[in-house]
Amino acid sequence: EAGVAQSPRYKIIEKRQSVAFWCNPISGHATLYWYQQILGQGPKLLIQFQNNGVVDDSQLPKDRFSAERLKGVDSTLKIQPAKLEDSAVYLCASSFGDQVQQFFGPGTRLTVL
């Protein structure tokens, strides 16, 4: 079974530029999560989708971050404009449902200069 796919794996941008990350979850997983993990910290949930609907985006900085999950499958997370403090690893995870194990992708390491 293929795992969660993410791209790109690494991205370096200047502050105020925009960037987009892509995630393809495990086939059949209805729930998709985007996390931000700053070095030395645990993953922080940015947004959670159930199929193509948002069920939690309370910690998403909506003035600069946006995410969508069209057709309930793959998803994109965008940052525009980026700030220095956005430097982090962005993890995508998926699960079959709620309150069960999450499967994580390899992550995208973002560096904002």
- Residues lying near other proteins in the complex (CB under 8 A) are found at 33, 35, 40-45, 48, 50, 55-56, 91, 98-107
Residue type present at position 27: S
Shortest separation between residue 34's beta carbon and other proteins, angstroms: 12
- 44-50/19-24 β-pairing: unpaired
Nearer to other proteins, 65 or 90 (CB): 90
Shortest separation between residue 97's beta carbon and other proteins, angstroms: 10
DSSP one-letter string for 25-74: --TT--EEEEEEE-TTS--EEEEEEETTEEEE-TTS-TTTEEEE-GGGS-
Nearer to other proteins, 45 or 81 (CB): 45
Cα angle at 28 between 45 and 48, to 5 degrees? 15
Nearer to other proteins, 27 or 99 (CB): 99
Shortest separation between residue 99's beta carbon and other proteins, angstroms: 4
